[in-house]
Amino acid sequence: MAEMFRLQGQGTSPGTAFGQIHLAVETEAMFSSQTNPSAERAILLDAVQVSIAALRALAARSPAESAAFLEFQIEMLLDPEITEMAAGRIGSGDGAALAWVTALDDYIAGFEQSDNDDVRARAADVIDIKNRVLAAMTGKSVADFPAGTVFVGKDISPSLFLAHDWSAGGGVVLFKGSAASHVSMLARAKSVPMVIGTGTFNIAGKTQLLLDGGSGCVVLHPSDEELRQALLTPLSMRQSADEGERPCPTAVRTADGAKISLSINVNDLSDLIGVDHAGIAGIGLLRTEFLMSSAADIANEDRQYGIYRQVLEWAGQKPVTIRLLDLGGDKPVPSADKGDWTSFLGLRGIRLLLARPEILRIQARALLRSAIHGKLKVMLPMVTLPSELERTVTIFREESTLLERCRVNHRIPPIGIMVEVPATALMLDTFGAADFFSFGTNDLAQYLTAAARDNAAVADIYTHAAPAIFRLLAHSLQIAANLETPVSVCGDMAGDPECIPGLLGCGLRHFSLAPVQLVAVRSQIAQFNADGTMAVDK
Ligand code: PEP
Ligand code: MG
């Protein structure tokens, strides 16, 4: 039997997967030499059209967020610049396939060499486009891989990820990859376990692999004991089929009886599929930036209104906290004009919205209109100064007056802030105007430790932020109590069972987490007292 072999990568989507490896082979092309330039040009243009049609069909049967990624690829294919680059090479004597691949490889290299993670992540989209058109030229379709297997390769394209049937399980291990890539985001939203950055490794024959998308650990040829361990612990993070069928308790209580509210974080409307409405307090965080992937979406008030209304109607009488666009930093900025937007310390979240108030005003109108369809709360991301809250509230009031004048039905919702900048947490007493506070521990961790959340080289420092966060929380929660302002926590710590005792001990009673983490967090809460101490069996 082959020897067990362990690799360490970076987990980007939690959960455990075990299965046969599907090793992705880079697309082989038939690089025919040219016989007739106009015939080669026709082959190229035909393959581009076939690819656009296939992408449109795929987009039509995909959920909105996924369709947006496909739209990006369609837009790229419609851009004459790319086809002209390849056509230029046909003019200098290459066949269609060779011209296409060489032109696209130059283009991809430009993305891959960028210092910016988001731009580098785009390379996967372009590789996807390259392979799709190439496959159309050679008459082969983009190959799916067997359901239930673990995809292993340099990268996986968004369209292949979307087209694959994940219902039979499986996962993804990438030699390179980026936590900021579209595929990493899609994997998290669909709860597909994923590890990136393992470096290339050799696989012989029919190898089986175990991966833990939480710790980033990958084990080739796992022993029975290794499998047993892995399937016992991390699987508790996932909702098993049995647990999924059991009705969720509506009230969650600590061992000594304190009532805890559990809400969910939503990045994509498909995250709501399968959520037991009765078992949650509401939606504690809707990240709107992931619902919009083009400048056109951001400018489309009616589209935004439609999405918010749908979520509010799904929630019924339960509160829904919709966060204003947190664009910039590690989040996608759907615009060619990125300016200073990609810095974690620059124009991000509310700073960017106040610098570009036309974007904020559109979202404000969509939210004001949707507020009549449920219990909406609006939350501001990356707030540092009380004036940012005041200016935003003023914009909401101004837009409300305009809607009033046009006799458009609307309501001004409660407006609160994310507490994710250390200065805000320290100075919470100056935010008495906020209707609620929600602690964003993901950003608090990176700003407290000065370790970027998407940088694997400092991941160890980032993950040790908890003690500093607990101290800061204890300080801020005292202020919030004096102000009598409701508080919750919506960063990843809220979904991490190991952090639950510490968060309870700080006095937190409202947690918002990914739906997939509900089962583990519920059972953890039941084993601890409200002060965070372990309950003793009587
Ligand atoms: C956070 O920072 O903890 C948070 C919830 O916001 P995001 O992860 O979207 O930056
Ligand atoms: Mg944040």
Ligand 1 contact via 440 beta carbon (within 6 Å): yes
Give domain status of residue 231, yes or no. Answer: no
Give domain status of residue 311, yes or no. Answer: yes
Task: Please name the amino acid found at residue 446.
Answer: Q
Report the separation in Å between the CA atom of 482 and the middle of ligand 2, taken as the mean of its atom positions: 25
Model confidence pLDDT, tens digit, residues 56-79:
888 887 777 677 778 888 888 898
Ligand nearest to the CA of 323: 1
Report the separation in Å between the CA atom of 443 and the middle of ligand 1, taken as the mean of its atom positions: 6
Give domain status of residue 173, yes or no. Answer: yes
DSSP-H helix ranges across 27-181: 37-60, 64-78, 80-91, 96-112, 117-138, 158-163
Report the separation in Å between the CA atom of 23 and the middle of ligand 1, taken as the mean of its atom positions: 34
DSSP H/E element including 23: strand 16-23
Is the pLDDT confidence value at 28 over 50? no
Q: Name the token pair of 180.
A: 């900021």
Whether 378 and 519 share a structural domain: yes
pLDDT score at 141 = 52
pLDDT score at 234 = 41
Task: State the closest ligand 1 atom to the C-alpha of 287, by its place in the atom list counted from 1.
Answer: 9
Model confidence pLDDT, tens digit, residues 381-432:
999 999 999 999 999 999 999 999 989 999 999 999 999 999 999 999 999 9
- The answer to whether 95 and 31 are in contact (CB under 8 A) is yes
Task: State the closest ligand 1 atom to the C-alpha of 442, by its place in the atom list counted from 1.
Answer: 3
User: To test the ligand 1 pocket, which listed residue (418, 472, 476) has its Cβ within 8 A of the most ligand atoms?
Assistant: 418
Strand ranges in 187-332 using DSSP code E only, listed in sequence order: 194-196, 208-212, 217-220, 252-253, 259-266, 283-287, 319-323
Instruction: Map residue 6 onto helix, strand or coil.
Output: strand
CATH number of residue 246's parent domain: 3.20.20.60
- What residue owns the CA closest to ligand 1's atom 8? 442
Give domain status of residue 536, yes or no. Answer: no
Whether 376 and 499 share a structural domain: yes
Task: State the closest ligand 1 atom to the C-alpha of 440, by its place in the atom list counted from 1.
Answer: 3
Give domain status of residue 261, yes or no. Answer: yes
Model confidence pLDDT, tens digit, residues 346-391:
889 999 999 989 899 999 999 999 999 999 999 999 999 999 999 9
Of 138, 164, 186, which residue constitutes the final position of a domain?
138
Whether 268 and 373 share a structural domain: yes
DSSP-H helix ranges across 316-385: 350-355, 357-370
Whether 400 and 303 share a structural domain: yes
420 known ligand binder? yes
Give domain status of residue 535, yes or no. Answer: no
> Active-site residues: which are they?
182, 490
Ligand 1 contact via 288 beta carbon (within 6 Å): no
Whether 303 and 389 share a structural domain: yes
Helix 80-91 vs helix 96-112: crossing angle, to nearest 10: 130
Model confidence pLDDT, tens digit, residues 384-394:
999 999 999 99
Whether 379 and 487 share a structural domain: yes
Q: Name the token pair of 525.
A: 């809460």
Whether 206 and 337 share a structural domain: no
Q: 330, exposed or middle or buried, with CB in 10 Å at 0-12, 13-18, 19+?
A: buried
CATH number of residue 176's parent domain: 3.50.30.10
Model confidence pLDDT, tens digit, residues 204-242:
667 889 999 988 999 988 888 888 777 655 433 433 333
Task: State the closest ligand 1 atom to the C-alpha of 443, by its place in the atom list counted from 1.
Answer: 2
361 known ligand binder? no
Model confidence pLDDT, tens digit, residues 490-524:
998 999 999 999 999 999 999 999 998 899 999 99
Whether 316 and 420 share a structural domain: yes
Whether 315 and 189 share a structural domain: no
Model confidence pLDDT, tens digit, residues 84-130:
888 888 887 777 777 787 788 777 777 777 777 777 777 777 877 88
Give the residue from 406, 4, 15 showing the smallest Cα distance to 236: 15
The 3-class secondary structure across 276-300, one letter per residue, is: CHHHCCCEEEEEHHHCCCCHHHHCC
Ligand nearest to the CA of 441: 1
Rounded distance between C-alpha atoms, residue 216 and residue 239, angstroms: 20
What are phi and psi for residue 198, nearest 5 degrees? -80, -15
89 known ligand binder? no
Paired strand residues for 438? 418, 488
Helix 357-370 vs helix 301-315: crossing angle, to nearest 10: 40
More confident residue, 36 or 189: 36
- Number of compact structural domains in the chain: 3
- What residue owns the CA closest to ligand 1's atom 4? 440
Whether 171 and 284 share a structural domain: no
Report the separation in Å between the CA atom of 271 and the middle of ligand 1, taken as the mean of its atom positions: 17
453 known ligand binder? yes
245 known ligand binder? no
State pTM to two decimals.
0.63
pLDDT, mean of residues 166-187? 79
- Distance (Å) of CA 164 to CA 24, 123, 151, 171, 449: 14, 20, 11, 11, 38
391 known ligand binder? no
Give the residue from 126, 135, 106 showing the smallest Cα distance to 46: 135
- What residue owns the CA closest to ligand 1's atom 9? 287
pLDDT, mean of residues 169-180? 82
Residues spanned by the domain of 105: 37-138
Of 138, 157, 182, which residue constitutes the final position of a domain?
138
Least confident of 142-146, 182-186, 344-348, 515-519: 182-186
Rounded distance between C-alpha atoms, residue 372 and residue 527, angstroms: 39
Q: Name the token pair of 41.
A: 């040009």
Whether 492 and 398 share a structural domain: yes
Ligand 1 contact via 420 beta carbon (within 6 Å): yes
Give domain status of residue 276, yes or no. Answer: yes
pLDDT score at 349 = 94
CATH number of residue 99's parent domain: 1.10.274.10
Q: Name the token pair of 97.
A: 């396939």
Give domain status of residue 530, yes or no. Answer: no
- What residue owns the CA closest to ligand 1's atom 1? 440
Is the pLDDT confidence value at 533 over 90? yes
Give the residue from 85, 104, 101, 109 showing the smallest Cα distance to 137: 101
pLDDT score at 341 = 66
Report the separation in Å between the CA atom of 122 and the middle of ligand 2, taken as the mean of its atom positions: 22
Whether 269 and 200 share a structural domain: no
Task: State the closest ligand 1 atom to the C-alpha of 420, by its place in the atom list counted from 1.
Answer: 2
Q: For the chain, what is the mean pLDDT?
A: 85
Q: Name the token pair of 517.
A: 């983490």
pLDDT interval class at 340 (50, 70, 90): low
Report the separation in Å between the CA atom of 491 and the middle of ligand 1, taken as the mean of its atom positions: 5
Ligand 1 contact via 491 beta carbon (within 6 Å): yes
